[in-house]
Amino acid sequence: MSKSTQINKRLTAKIPTPGNEVTTLGTSSVQTNNMADAAVTNTKMSPMPGTTLKGNNTYISGSSTPSDLTIPQVSRMIPPPTYQKLISGTSYNVNFAFAILTGSATVGATYTHNSVTYTVFETVASANIIILSGNAAPLASGTLTKASGTGDTTLTFIQSFAPKSLEVQAVAAGGGGSGISNGVGYVAGGNGTATIFNGVTANAGGGSALDIPGAGGSAGAGTATYRIPGGQGNGGSLTSNTIPGGSGGGTFFGGNGAGGTSASSGGNGALNTGAGGGGSGGNTVWSAGPMSGGGGGEYFFLKINNPVATYTYQIGVGGAKGDGTSADGGVGADGMIIIKTEY
């Protein structure tokens, strides 16, 4: 037998092995490397750098060759949590994250997709992740088309991420502190109003009534994960006119208004903390005693798993100051809601 005959016989021999297929092309053969089940073992992947995984974290359409991923690269594949502070309004649309090829858009711009209008949550430039809020979930992939505002005309996303959970912190408004009207008497502070999210209520702090401090808010309706009552305002006195007014009651966020010094107005509760306003200070000339402070609003924490797309809410309004002609009480602070979204 000649050497050429021996070579041709070896080329046309079919000796399949598990996981391999042999295709005969004339007198030669081509072996395709179809990997068998469970053929990739940890041993075969060794050595691998520490704290790495193998995968593809590039935001491209289709597939590509995997590579070693570091922990930061893996984290890049998961949208980070977002935080929002609500101080007005009544309707909340949840945020959705979109993995885009690349894109830029300015906060407040609107985009449409699948007959839903989404609003850009924060400005991004040449980004791979963009956050938009909307009242319905998007498709798994698709195109966002700009309807208004500044940004790319279209944004192509290869994956959307629905919110996994919402962590809601809410505080009700604080009560107002009492004031003094020389020759007329004293003016009580007004009550704050409640803050509500999806039917769960934080009760407001009460306004102070002259030397009687405002009560802290507590025991709101609905089931929260936990609650912290607002602080009671500090008391005044109708007889001792040489001491400062009572401070307002604090909240989980602090912020209570200071009591007024001699013949001066009480301090307002700090912005959107739900704290009570301080009472006005006493004065010997007016023969007026120091006034008491308003109460702080109740706080609650609420975790919502697998949230729906839209919720209703209410932000509490701070109690009015005791508007005296000589010295005012402090205004109770408005409430707020803070929402953390995990994707």
pLDDT tens digits, one per residue of 55-101: 776 655 566 777 777 777 776 678 999 999 999 999 999 999 999 98
Q: Which domain holds residue 123?
A: 95-162
Looking at residues 246-273, what average pLDDT do you find?
95
> Mean pLDDT, the chain, as a whole number?
87
pTM: 0.81
Looking at residues 171-191, what average pLDDT do you find?
90
For tokens 């006119």, the residue is: 241
Alpha-carbon distance of 337 to 299, in angstroms, equals: 10
Question: Tokens representing 77?
Answer: 């594949």
Phi-psi region of 199 (alpha: psi -120 to 50; beta: other; left: phi over 0): left
When divided into structural domains, the chain yields a total of 2
Q: Is 113 in the same domain as 201? A: no
Q: Is 171 in the same domain as 204? A: yes
Q: Is 177 in the same domain as 286? A: yes
Q: Is 332 in the same domain as 189? A: yes
- Alpha-helical regions (H) of the chain: 3-12, 71-76
pLDDT value of residue 291? 93
**Which pLDDT band holds residue 154 (cuts at 50, 70, 90)?**
very high
Alpha-carbon distance of 33 to 291, in angstroms, equals: 87
Q: Is 201 in the same domain as 139? A: no
pLDDT tens digits, one per residue of 28-63: 444 445 666 667 777 777 777 776 677 776 655 566
Establish if 333 belongs to a structural domain: yes
Q: Is 88 in the same domain as 229? A: yes
Alpha-carbon distance of 276 to 213, in angstroms, equals: 10
Q: Is 188 in the same domain as 144? A: no
Q: What share of the chain is helix, strand, coil (3-state, %, to 5)?
A: 5, 35, 60
Measuring CA to CA, which residue among 274, 220, 272 is closest to residue 248? Answer: 274
Alpha-carbon distance of 222 to 201, in angstroms, equals: 6
Among 56-70, 85-99, 238-252, 272-286, name the one with the lowest average pLDDT: 56-70
DSSP-derived 3-state class of residue 8: helix
Q: Does the structure show a pLDDT above 60 at 21?
A: no
